[in-house]
Amino acid sequence: ITPGELLCLGSSLAFSGLCYYLYRKKARVVARIQEAPKLQVDDDLPALVSAADGRCLPYVALEGVVLPAKAVLTSHYHEGLQGVIQKLLLKEHRLIWNSLARSW
């Protein structure tokens, strides 16, 4: 076995190990999402969020009636499937000028 073959084998094993690590990490996240508690959208939900640690519920599934702000989105691929767009919140972090790199 030549040193070039050993180098290729080692890099292939390292890359495979990295891919497997990333796969397992994402699989744990998916498992947490699938095990998320299901909550109803009702008047008790704000009190539940306020009582949670850090006023945040990490992974929950909300069930209830959602009303669209403007119009309902309909699927082009599945007849009768409708959806709405979630209101997005953009939070900008404070930028600090780095004089060494001359960038924000």
Both tokens assigned to 5: 């073959």
pLDDT at 88 over 70: no
Q: Domain locations in the chain?
A: 3-83
- Name the region of 64 (left: φ>0; alpha: ψ -120 to 50; beta: rest): left
CA distance 104 to 95: 6
CA distance 103 to 24: 36
pTM over 0.75: no
Distances (CA, A) of 89 to 4, 86, 92: 52, 9, 10
Per-residue model confidence as pLDDT tens digits over 38-79: 888 888 888 888 888 888 887 788 888 878 878 888 889 988
For the chain, give me the number of helices (H) and strands (E)? Answer: 2, 4
